[in-house]
Structure 1
Amino acid sequence: MSQKNPKSQIERVIETLKNDLPTLFENDISYDIYTKDIYFQDPVNRFKGKFNYRIIFWTLRFHARLFFTEIYFDLHEVNQPDPDTIKAYWTVRGTLRVPWKAQLFFNGDSTYKLTEEGLIYDHLDRWDRKPREILKQFLPQ
Structure 2
Amino acid sequence: AIPTTTRSTAAATVSPRGACRRTVTASASPRGDAEASSSSSTSPSSPPVHLRRRHALVALVAATVPPPSSPERASALPLAPLGEVKRVGGDKRTDLTAEKVRDQLERDLRDGQYFVTGNLTREIFADDCRFTDPTNDVVGLSRYLTALGLLFDPATSFVDLYDIKVTSPDTVEADWQLQGYLRFPWKPRVEPYTGHTVYSLDPESHLVRSQFQTWNISGAKAIAESFTPTTGPET
TM-score of Structure 1 vs Structure 2, range by shorter chain: 0.7 to 0.9
Match of 2:153 in 1: 64
Name the CA distance, whole Å, in 1 between partners of 2:221 and 2:175.
Answer: 20
Confirm whether residue 75 of structure 1 aligns to residue 191 of structure 2.
no
Alignment of structure 1 residues 102-113 onto 2, 5 Å: 104-113=191-200
Higher strand share: 1
- SS of residue in 2 equivalent to 1:44: coil
Confirm whether residue 84 of structure 1 aligns to residue 170 of structure 2.
yes
Name the CA distance, whole Å, in 1 between partners of 2:129 and 2:176.
Answer: 21
Confirm whether residue 52 of structure 1 aligns to residue 140 of structure 2.
no
Tell me the number of residue pairs that the alignment of Structure 1 and Structure 2 aligns.
130
Residues 78-115 of structure 1, C-alpha deviations (whole Å, 9 max, x = no match)? 011111111010101236899xx966111001111011
Deviation at 1:124, TM superposition (A): 0.5
Deviation at 1:139, TM superposition (A): 6.6
Residues 11-61 of structure 1, C-alpha deviations (whole Å, 9 max, x = no match)? 22111111111322346211111112101111111121222122133234x
Shift of the 103–43 alpha-carbon distance from structure 1 to 2, 3 Å rule, reads closer
Name the CA distance, whole Å, in 2 between partners of 1:124 and 1:38.
Answer: 10
Shift of the 10–43 alpha-carbon distance from structure 1 to 2, 3 Å rule, reads same
Does the 8 Å contact 1:37/1:121 carry over to 2? Answer: yes
- Alignment RMSD (CA, Å): 3.0
TM-score, normalised with respect to structure 1: 0.75
TM-score, normalised with respect to structure 2: 0.47
Name the CA distance, whole Å, in 2 between partners of 1:53 and 1:110.
Answer: 15
Match of 2:120 in 1: 29
Does the 8 Å contact 2:127/2:141 carry over to 1? Answer: yes
Does the 8 Å contact 1:9/1:118 carry over to 2? Answer: yes
What 5-or-longer segments of structure 1 have no aligned partner? none
